């Protein structure tokens, strides 16, 4: 049963705020950061040979650009584009392994995009071989990729499974044609269903589906229909992202027909509907926008309060470091965040010149590390045990964050959190506003001004 949350309450908390895939969040990275700083981090990593790694590979190419897309995607007619891209990744990889060695253990390896299944079988094999040669992929590592069903076939997904991927995410967004037309992404239902079945037939242990709510043309009725179809398929996990309409960052979104786009409370109600339908279908609501079948590792991790979050999303196999390859990739190495150039040409030019293509970064201080622990625990495990910070930071969180906790009483009065001797607990109502709770512990938000750096929390 839906919680009755009035429209004015939703509006009160519908502010611009981060999604906290990291803390500090990208807009707060103000330090000058480049090749030298990343080399320093990698040299430190070399001194910790036992630490496991997660790896992200960004593959930006897409067959066609969808108007609504917020990802870092490229459409090209260049025949050699992928080969040239992989040549650069290979060089990037060689620069990194020259500093950390080639025998590091990897527990999570993810290909994101763009559209990783834009690559041919030969290109997929080449990329996999490059990384397998450079790292020691653990036998139980999660090896995952995102695919666009519009260019996939059951044969292709069977190949991807045999090549070693064990988790696959299908971009669906919405089954309704009117919505697909408005967002510039026509996607035949039959093809999507065929590819989904192909993933099952190929024996993928994990099959995920991506949906987006708040897209133009979506109504309560139409989205109920899409959600019903998805639940009927029984994917292991579903991500239902809030549509981020940010045309000042992604100008192609100006082509999205926003005439019938729900916002504010109506958009919130779509998400509430999503939560209700997945809960009724026995899925666990994970973090802000994911749903996992009961028994799925993410659900078990939430029950055990052992869920983690990184740039790739929610994770059950936390590695202390994440290396990112490819344009726009974001890494997290020895308490430094590093971001590669998001543009193809300068990213490639830096690599050709023998420089690691880092353009942005942030070295965390002790205060950042403490707040990161607190914020990510709130975002993932929906609580803040006071003792969480004791071992690493020498005092309980209610002492370290006494000033911030002064902002708590209104959130308690509004029923978003409760506090007791153990710590803070996010309530059922507070789950919808967990970003607002996390934001009180963010030391950088005060300086963020009124720039539209973040999407809205609802």
Ligand X SMILES: C[S@@+](CC[C@H](N)C(=O)[O-])C[C@H]1O[C@@H](n2cnc3c(N)ncnc32)[C@H](O)[C@@H]1O
Can you give the binding site for ligand X, defined by CB under 6 A?
62, 68-71, 112-115, 146, 148, 171, 173, 210, 212, 241, 243-244
Sheet architecture: strand order including 321-325: 283-286, 290-293, 237-242, 206-213, 167-173, 135-147, 104-113, 53-59, 321-325, 330-333, 336-340, 358-363
Residue closer to ligand X by CB (options 66, 434) is 66
Element (H, E) at 98: helix 81-100
Residue closer to ligand X by CB (options 241, 283) is 241
Q: Is 17 in the site for ligand SF4 (CB under 6 A)?
A: no
Residue 358 CB, nearest approach to ligand X (Å): 22
Contact partner, 244, from ligand X, ligand SF4, none, Cβ < 5-8 Å per class: ligand X
Residue closer to ligand SF4 by CB (options 142, 148) is 148
Residue 180 CB, nearest approach to ligand SF4 (Å): 11
Only segment of 107-115, 197-205, 264-272, 431-439 that touches ligand SF4 (CB under 6 A): 107-115
Contact partner, 241, from ligand X, ligand SF4, none, Cβ < 5-8 Å per class: ligand X
Q: By CB under 6 A, name the one of 24, 113, 206, 313 that touches ligand SF4.
A: 113
Contact partner, 243, from ligand X, ligand SF4, none, Cβ < 5-8 Å per class: ligand X
Residue closer to ligand X by CB (options 151, 349) is 151
Residue 113 CB, nearest approach to ligand SF4 (Å): 5
The sign one gets for the Cα dihedral 388, 390, 396, 400 is negative
Q: By CB under 6 A, name the one of 62, 202, 209, 338 that touches ligand SF4.
A: 62
Q: Whose CA is closest to 412, among 396, 425, 397, 422?
A: 425
Q: Is 171 in the site for ligand SF4 (CB under 6 A)?
A: yes
Residue 188, helix vs strand vs coil: coil
Q: By CB under 6 A, name the one of 65, 317, 369, 425 that touches ligand SF4.
A: 65
Residue 53 CB, nearest approach to ligand X (Å): 22
Sheet architecture: strand order including 383-385: 383-385, 423-426, 417-419
Residue 100, helix vs strand vs coil: helix
Residues in contact with 303: Cβ distance below 8 Å, sequence separation at least 6, in sequence order? none
Residue closer to ligand SF4 by CB (options 146, 442) is 146
Give residue for tokens 């989904």.
196
Residue 145 CB, nearest approach to ligand SF4 (Å): 12
Contact partner, 268, from ligand X, ligand SF4, none, Cβ < 5-8 Å per class: none
Contact partner, 340, from ligand X, ligand SF4, none, Cβ < 5-8 Å per class: none
Residue 59 CB, nearest approach to ligand SF4 (Å): 10
Residue closer to ligand SF4 by CB (options 74, 227) is 74
> Residue 2 is encoded by which pair of tokens?
């839906």
Residue closer to ligand SF4 by CB (options 24, 149) is 149
Residue 50 CB, nearest approach to ligand X (Å): 33
Burial 27-37 (b: 16+ CB within 10 A, else e): ebbeeebbbeb
What number of other Cβ atoms are within 10 A of residue 103's Cβ? 10
Angle CA(416)–CA(20)–CA(325) in degrees, nearest 5?
A: 160
Angle CA(247)–CA(248)–CA(253) in degrees, nearest 5?
A: 15
Q: Is 112 in the site for ligand SF4 (CB under 6 A)?
A: no
Of residues 211 through 250, those in contact with ligand SF4 by CB under 6 A are none
The sign one gets for the Cα dihedral 399, 400, 403, 404 is negative
State how far Cα 355 lies from the chain centre.
27
Residue 21 CB, nearest approach to ligand X (Å): 13
Residue 63 CB, nearest approach to ligand SF4 (Å): 7
Q: Which burial class, exposed, middle or buried, applies to 189 when counting CB atoms under 10 A from its CB (0-12, 13-18, 19+)? A: middle
Residue 68 CB, nearest approach to ligand X (Å): 5
Contact partner, 212, from ligand SF4, ligand X, none, Cβ < 5-8 Å per class: ligand X
Residue closer to ligand SF4 by CB (options 179, 424) is 179
Residue closer to ligand SF4 by CB (options 218, 381) is 218
Residue 244 CB, nearest approach to ligand SF4 (Å): 12
Q: Is 14 in the site for ligand SF4 (CB under 6 A)?
A: no
Angle CA(306)–CA(307)–CA(311) in degrees, nearest 5?
A: 145
Residue 155, helix vs strand vs coil: helix
Give residue for tokens 């609802």.
458
Residue 76, helix vs strand vs coil: coil
State how far Cα 223 lies from the chain centre.
23
Element (H, E) at 286: strand 283-286
Residue closer to ligand X by CB (options 289, 442) is 289
List of residues contacting ligand SF4 (CB under 6 A): 62, 65-66, 69, 71, 73, 113-115, 148, 171
């Amino acid at each position: 049963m839906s919680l009755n949350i009035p429209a004015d309450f939703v509006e009160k908390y519908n502010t611009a705020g981060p999604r906290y895939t990291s803390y500090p969040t990208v807009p707060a990275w103000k330090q000058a950061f480049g090749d030298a700083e990343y080399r320093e981090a990698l040299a430190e990593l070399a001194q910790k040979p036992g630490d496991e790694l997660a790896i992200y590979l960004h593959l930006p190419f897409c067959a066609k650009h969808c108007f609504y897309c917020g990802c870092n995607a490229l459409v090209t007619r260049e025949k050699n584009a992928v080969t040239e891209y992989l040549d650069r990744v290979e060089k990037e990889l060689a620069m990194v392994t020259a500093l950390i060695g080639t025998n590091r253990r990897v527990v999570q390896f993810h290909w994101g995009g763009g559209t990783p299944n834009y690559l041919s079988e030969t290109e997929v094999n080449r990329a996999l071989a490059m990384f397998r040669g450079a790292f020691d992929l653990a036998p139980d590592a999660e090896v995952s990729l995102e695919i666009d069903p519009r260019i996939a076939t059951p044969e292709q997904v069977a190949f991807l499974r045999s090549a070693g991927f064990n988790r696959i995410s299908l971009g669906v967004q919405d089954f309704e044609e009117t919505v697909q037309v408005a967002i510039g992404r026509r996607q035949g239902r039959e093809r999507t269903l065929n590819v989904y079945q192909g993933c099952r037939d190929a024996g993928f242990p994990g099959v995920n589906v991506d949906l987006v709510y708040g897209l133009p043309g979506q109504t309560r009725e139409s989205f109920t229909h899409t959600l019903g179809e998805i639940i009927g398929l029984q994917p292991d996990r579903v991500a239902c992202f809030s549509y981020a309409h940010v045309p000042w960052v992604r100008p192609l979104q100006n082509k999205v027909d926003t005439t019938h786009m729900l916002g504010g409370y109506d958009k919130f109600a779509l998400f509430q509907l999503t939560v209700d339908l997945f809960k009724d279908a026995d899925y666990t609501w994970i973090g802000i926008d994911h749903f996992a079948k009961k028994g799925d590792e993410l659900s078990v991790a939430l029950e055990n309060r052992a869920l983690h979050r990184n740039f790739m999303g929610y994770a059950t196999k936390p590695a202390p470091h994440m290396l990112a390859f490819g344009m726009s990739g974001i890494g997290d190495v020895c308490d430094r965040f590093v971001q590669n150039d998001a543009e193809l040409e300068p990213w490639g030019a830096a690599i050709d010149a023998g420089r690691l293509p880092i353009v942005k970064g942030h070295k965390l201080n002790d205060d950042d590390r403490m707040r990161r622990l607190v914020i990510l625990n709130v975002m993932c495990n929906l609580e803040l045990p006071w003792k969480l910070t004791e071992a690493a930071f020498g005092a309980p969180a209610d002492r370290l964050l006494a000033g911030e906790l002064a902002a708590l009483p209104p959130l308690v009065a509004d029923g978003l959190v409760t506090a007791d001797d153990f710590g803070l607990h996010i309530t059922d109502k507070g789950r919808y506003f967990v970003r607002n709770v996390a934001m009180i512990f963010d030391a950088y938000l005060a300086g963020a001004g009124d720039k539209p750096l973040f999407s809205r929390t609802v």
